Structure 1
Amino acid sequence: MAAGLDAAAINDAVAPPGKLPGRHQVSASIAKLEILLDRAHFSPGEIDGQLGENAQKALTAFAGANGLSFDKAVTPDLWSRLAAASEGAVIVKYTIADADVKGPFLKQVPAKMESMKDLPALNYTGPREALAEKFHMSEALLQALNPGQKFDKAGDSIAVANVIDAGGSAPVARVEVDKTRQTLSTFDAAGKLIAFYPATVGSTEKPTPSGTLKVTAINKDPTYRYNPKYKFKGVKSKRPFTIKPGPNNPVGSIWINLSAEGYGIHGTPEPGKVSKAVSHGCVRLTNWDAQRVAAGVAKGTPVTFVESSR
């Protein structure tokens, strides 16, 4: 993490001049950019202060939706439009609540699905993970903003991304999943783009379907049922098994069921890997992005899968 990265540096940051920082370079201006994008419902995925592929996707989409362009530099017009899309400091103080630290927590999430089936719940591994996800941040960025903090004491004040009151989800008339770009977009009844998210869409062993499906159900805190016919790599079980709910469940904290057996839009236990690792055929979002999508769709909402040229 960049030295001197604190709340004041991020709140006071201005548009990065000229060429943007490298993909793995952490900067206050990029952290602010990501928070502004998240608040405008153009998700950069996990807010980590780095201009990764997901943040660039969100910037491109936001620019296009506002009649602007993004090509390796953030223009003054683009920065001002982003800044005008929401109000308030991007980093704020938050008082750790009893609920944030009471658990129960897992010591660690098992690497193999079979090892998950006997656990009573797939909870967070600790309050730092829970708080990072609550504020859409990477654990590394949360820790960098709060050096020495163990996040285990209710009443402590910490610095977090100001994303909780980013506005409700507008009613979604149509969802579009771009299998090539690995993104999910939602549109209103007039065809206007209202939200944009990075996604992990399918895999070689189980590709995501084509055409248009429909939302058939929305399940919060879903269980995950493994079917041996899926033949997922690394899973040896010949019998079905069920994994209990929790944010570290293989499908995260939300499941939006689609009208093709075994397919859905869902959360993930590893937000930092969204659009960077394959899914088992479904559409994987961060837990918080999946919750935003779920808040806007309803039973019958069409979900169209498209393939675009890059």
Structure 2
Amino acid sequence: MRTIVIFLLLLGAQPGALAQDRGPAADENGVPRDLNTVLQVQIFLDRHLFGPGKLDGAVGEFTYKAVVNYNFAMGHRDIYDWAPVLHAAEAEVPVIFAAFQIRSELGKFVNPLLPEKPEDQVKYDYMAYRSYAELVAERFHTDESFLAKCNPEKNLQRLQPGDVVMVPNVRSFRIEEVKAMQSFPKDAKLSANTIVVDTTERMAAVYSPDERLLAAFPITPGKPEFIPVGTWSMKVMMTTPSFRYDKQFLEEGVRGKEAYQLPPGPNSPVGIIWCGLSKSGIGLHGTALPRTIGRSQSAGCVRLANWDAIRLPTLIRPDSPVIVR
């Protein structure tokens, strides 16, 4: 990967479709409109744990919020000023695209035959990606639509090991490094941090004991009538959870008579990690559909993109206070 990235830097290479997709440099408030500049900022913010949502070169709600949170954390007086993050991103992220070659060992995480219906999914051992395009998109914190824009001459549905694709130059989410059923114990330092789940702003923010903002990620909160407002604590954090799919519970918050125990995997409804609260049945977890973060809702839990959810154990641990508001 490093050799290819340096090669791209020397040639000044950019995907053709994106290099041509340029509008005005900035709006009247100094917010950039150039796709490549916005993507550079998004990559920078993502690296510093201020999640802008999926990387797509567009200034959306979560990119705005990530800039504000970054400025607040850095102590900048005007938290709405884009100048500090623009300058920092330009210095830290000189290369915004990289080339990624799909390795054959990633094949065990892809199953194009994985069905859509829960009653059929229970027959499988693993909720894999349904395509290499889905795997690559999530690996580089984006979606398949933007991946297609980065690779206009490729048929992404026919990707195979050995193929090379252009991707955002972000620190990748590596499904092969997610250990099966890894639990995370209490930690003297991390358990002292607090996570605040703001269901109105649709953000989860982590604070140190002295109230420094350490990270903030976009979320999908539960339905308003099921949101467990209050102060709780983190009880358990475990990777690759299985999931009890109960349609009635998801829609009404009441356990139904028919349910399916789904296997683990990135396409599980709870993604690749479960962080259970002291409020029974409620937790923070990943998702099978990162493009829907901030939009769709579940019964009472809090969803994050898998690439953000897997970072939670580096920030909080069991006994961490969890404030839901």
Would the TM-score normalized by the shorter structure come out above 0.5? Answer: yes
1:106-125 pair list within 5 angstroms: 106-107=112-113, 109-110=115-116, 112-125=117-130
CA shift, 1:177, in A, is 0.6
Mean CA deviation greater in 113-122 or 263-272: 113-122
With normalisation by structure 1, the TM-score equals 0.81
Contact kept? 2:50, 2:216, Cα under 8 Å: yes
Decide whether aligned partners of structure 1 residues 46 and 75 sit closer, same or farther in structure 2, where only a CA change above 3 A counts.
Answer: closer
Counterpart secondary structure, 1:99: helix
1:234-293: CA deviation from partner (whole Å, max 9, x where unpaired): 999623331111111111111111111110000011111101111221111001100011
1:230 aligns with 2:239: no
What are the ranges of 5 or more consecutive residues in structure 2 without an aligned counterpart?
Answer: 1-14, 174-188
Q: Aligned runs of 1:1-310 on 2, under 5 Å?
A: 4-6=16-18, 16-19=25-28, 27-66=35-74, 67-69=76-78, 71=80, 75-84=82-91, 86-87=92-93, 89-107=95-113, 109-110=115-116, 112-149=117-154, 150=156, 152-164=159-171, 171=190, 173-205=193-225, 207-226=226-245, 230=249, 232=251, 238-306=257-325
Question: Taking structure 2 as the reference length, what is the TM-score of the superposition?
Answer: 0.78
Q: Which has the higher helix share?
A: 2
- Give SS of 2:170's match: coil
Structure 2 contact 282–300 (Cα < 8 Å) conserved? yes
Asked whether the equivalents of residues 136 and 163 of structure 1 are also in contact (C-alpha less than 8 Å), the reply is: yes
Are residues 28 and 304 of structure 1, via their aligned partners in 2, closer, same or farther at CA, if it must alter by over 3 Å?
Answer: same
- Superposed CA RMSD in Å reads 3.3
Map Cα deviations across residues 47-71 of structure 1 (whole Å, 9 max, x no partner).
Answer: 1222222222212212222314355
- What percent identity do the matched residue pairs reach? 29
Against the structure 1 CA distance between its residues 234 and 218, is the aligned structure 2 distance closer, same or farther, given a 3 Å change threshold?
closer
Structure 1, unaligned stretches of length 5 or more? none
Cα distance change of structure 1 residues 286 and 135 upon mapping to structure 2, 3 Å threshold: same
Letter in 1 for 2:78: S
SS at 1:232 equivalent: helix
Distance 1:270 1:119, change over 3 A: same
- Counterpart CA distance in 2 for 1:26 and 1:125 is 32
Find the aligned partners of 1:48 and 1:92 in 2 and give their Cα distance.
15
**Displacement of 1:179 after TM fit?**
1.6
CA, structure 1 residues 233+260, in 2 after alignment: closer, same or farther (shift >3 Å)? closer
Report the number of matched residues. Answer: 291
